[in-house]
Amino acid sequence: MLSMQNISMVYRTETVETHALRDFSLDVEEGEFVSVTGPSGSGKTTFLNIAGLLEGFTSGRYSLDGKDTTQLDDASRSRLRNEKIGFIFQSFNLIPELDIFDNVDVPLRYRGFDSAERRRRIDSVLDMVGLASRKKHLPSQLSGGQQQRVAIARALAGEPRFLLADEPTGNLDSAMADSVMELLEDINSKGTTIIMVTHEPSLAARARRNIFVRDGQLSVEDAGLKVAIGS
Ligand X SMILES: Nc1ncnc2c1ncn2[C@@H]1O[C@H](COP(=O)(O)OP(=O)(O)OP(=O)(O)O)[C@@H](O)[C@H]1O
Rank residues 35 and 146 by Cβ distance to ligand X and give the closer one. Answer: 35
Please give the full DSSP string across 101-119, using - where no structure is assigned: HHHHHHHHHHHT--HHHHH
Report if residue 8 touches other proteins, rule: CB under 8 A: no
139 binding partner (options Mg ion, other proteins, ligand X, none; Cβ < 5 to 8 Å by kind):
none
The answer to whether the beta carbons of residues 190 and 221 sit under 8 Å apart is: no
Helices (H), 129-197: 144-157, 174-189
DSSP state of 125: H
What is the SS3 assignment for 40?
Answer: coil
Pairing of the two strands 193-197 and 162-166? parallel
Rank residues 114 and 223 by Cβ distance to other proteins and give the closer one. Answer: 114
Closest Cα to residue 21, out of 52, 48, 47?
47
Contact residue for ligand X among 41, 76, 202, 231 (CB under 6 A): 41
Using CB under 5 A, which of the segments 26-34, 45-53, 106-114, 138-146 binds Mg ion? 45-53
Report if residue 198 touches Mg ion, rule: CB under 5 A: no
Rank residues 52 and 158 by Cβ distance to Mg ion and give the closer one. Answer: 52
Report if residue 107 touches other proteins, rule: CB under 8 A: yes
Positions touching ligand X (CB under 6 A) are 11, 13, 18, 20, 38, 40-46
Q: Which residues bind Mg ion (CB under 5 A)?
A: 45
